Chain A
Amino acid sequence: MEDQNKNDIMIQATDLTHFYGPRPAIEEVNFGVKRGEILGFLGPNGAGKTTTMRILTGFMPPTEGKVTLADYDVVEQSLEVRKRIGYLPETVPLHTEMQVTNYLKYMGTLRGMPGRQIKRRVDDVIDVCRLQDYHKTIIGKLSKGFRQRVGIAQAILHEPEVLVLDEPTIGIDPIQVVETRRLIQELGREQTVVLSSHILPEVNMICERVLIIHEGHIVAEDTPSNLAQRLQGVDQLQVEVGGPVQEVLSVLRRVPGVTEVSQRYNQGRNVFVVQVQEGQDLRDEISRAIVSNGWSLLSMQLVSMSLEDIFLRLTTHEEL
């Protein structure tokens, strides 16, 4: 039974489109999340991650499309959905004039938790999020990192079935980042977690599955290890050769695995762009073919394909 539940679909999004004015923030986005899965949205700022999460949490309805969470429609049965989620918005909005404990109690009541449970859980989450020394502090006086912890504390307070975390590690110091990631992984054992990030290694570390979202579209979806493999595959080579253009072209085209070759002059240099079948590394064969014809191989370079292009834009290097 337990195992069967593991495979249940917790969230199903179908053809989600959302417009801000005339421009779509996301367009025909489809994805599913299994119960107990940790799913990561990876994409640069403005890709549509926050929009997607706001729709998931019922904060705003999609312009078109449909989302169900635990078989409840996010728009039609919003209240049932909202009972089942814990949400950490990107900006971590908190009532800055309240004390940590009072704020958590308030959020507990809003979530309809019974009084005794609130008392127990507030103590729990203060422990889990290491807020013991600050439970009486006014939230406005906490540092960014501690506010983030309060934000996570309120999200997990009512032990929701689904946690939606928008950029949970943004703007906090490295030690806290490590702690937060470990916490999310622990939570992911019991709960379904959907998180967003623009840091590739982070998603790699925490998530079981990754959706890469770019300009409102899902451009890739896989496990982190599969994605990494796909990115290492050589798809395009730029080769600079000293030799007669036409002959080099025909020799390169005959190398098995090569799909297309084109030639252009780049600042007076003779550059051939070689497309190869996905996942194949032909650097060895190509260099041998050139050298054995007596031409000189001046340089050879891997060129990023579209997927890697996107990755380059979104993988801000982590300072760790």
Chain B
Amino acid sequence: MRTIQAVAWKEIQVYFGTPTAYIVGMIFLALTGIVFAIGVVPSENNPFPEATLGSFFTWTSLFLIFLPPALTMRLLAEEQKLGTIELLLTSPVRDWEIILGKYLASFAFLLAMLALTLYYPVLLYVFAEPDPGPLYAGYLGLILYGAAALAIGMLTSTITSNQIVALIVGIGVIGALYVVHFSTDIVGGIASVLISEIGFQAHYEDFGRGVIDTKHVVYFLSVTAVFLFLAIRALEFRRWR
């Protein structure tokens, strides 16, 4: 437990000790700020907007294709590049403790960034009376979706010593799971159900409507678990190469 903490704490310190995190955080806040404003500020197309975060939740799910792999790309790829993995893997730390520690650090950073967006709902409460249900559910959806995406990023960072490769492959996998939903119309039948169930969209949408379905929660937790498991196996495997 202490070693997981040590690994996580070290990574959190690196996040906040280097400019990367601030840049990523700044871009994230700028983008989400814009989409939030588009959703709630009256305009020609939308003269009477509702006091919801619907637009924010929809768009942020798109940003979460790119953000999590940017947070995780360094975590193991850099250790492999610098060779510090040699000291990490020869310390009395289990492989799953390494993966979990680093994962928790990236998850904590994601939570911190999502926490910064909480001033959007606060603004809603100040100027209107939003329905709290979709807000809670929407944030839960974002957290679960982000957790799954980070796990995918952990795997791609483990299999390469090149951070850019880790980032691009991560974006590719998360992006594929994000858009696979749109191909359901092409195939039809049982295959379309299957494809829809595999992708993020079908499971994410309900949260934005204020519905917390156990099925969707289990889906995201499963994706997270599967990819973390694969990352641990990948780390074990690299000993045998």
Which A residues fall within an 8 A CB radius of B?
54, 57-61, 79-80, 82-83, 85, 87, 89, 91, 93-98, 102, 106-107, 109-112, 154
Contact = CB atoms under 8 A, between A and B. Distances in A.
Interface stretch (B32-40, B78-86, B185-193): B78-86
List of 9 A-B pairs having minimum Cβ-Cβ separation, nearest first: A93-B83, A109-B6, A110-B91, A82-B92, A83-B92, A57-B90, A93-B84, A89-B86, A87-B90
B14 interface: yes
Contact of B3 (A54, A85, A109): A109
Nearest to A114: B2
B86 A111 contact: no
B118 interface: no
A96 B3 contact: no
Contacts of A112: 2-3, 92
A154 B84 CA distance: 12
Contact of B91 (A60, A82, A93): A82
Interface string B62-93: 00000000000000000000111111111111
Given A82-B91, A110-B88, A110-B91, A97 B3 contact: no
9 contacts: A58-B90, A61-B239, A95-B84, A97-B17, A98-B10, A110-B6, A110-B93, A111-B91, A111-B92
Chain A CB within 10 Å — which of B2, B13, B85, B86 has the most?
B86
Contacts of B84: 93-95
A89 B10 CA distance: 21
A87 B86 CA distance: 9
Contacts of B209: none
A60 B239 contact: yes
Contacts of B85: 93
Nearest to A86: B90
A256 to B, nearest CB: 56
Contact of A59 (B3, B10, B90): B90
B92 A89 contact: no
Nearest to A96: B82
Nearest to A166: B86
A262 B82 CA distance: 55
A93 B3 contact: no
A154 B93 CA distance: 15
A171 to B, nearest CB: 15
Interface string B11-50: 0011001100000000000000000000000000000000
B89 A59 contact: yes
Contacts of B5: 109
A107 B7 CA distance: 10
A93 B92 contact: no
Nearest to B80: A93
Contacts of A106: 6, 10
A276 to B, nearest CB: 47
Given A93-B84, A110-B3, A111-B91, 8 more contacts: A60-B239, A79-B92, A80-B92, A89-B87, A93-B83, A98-B14, A106-B6, A111-B92
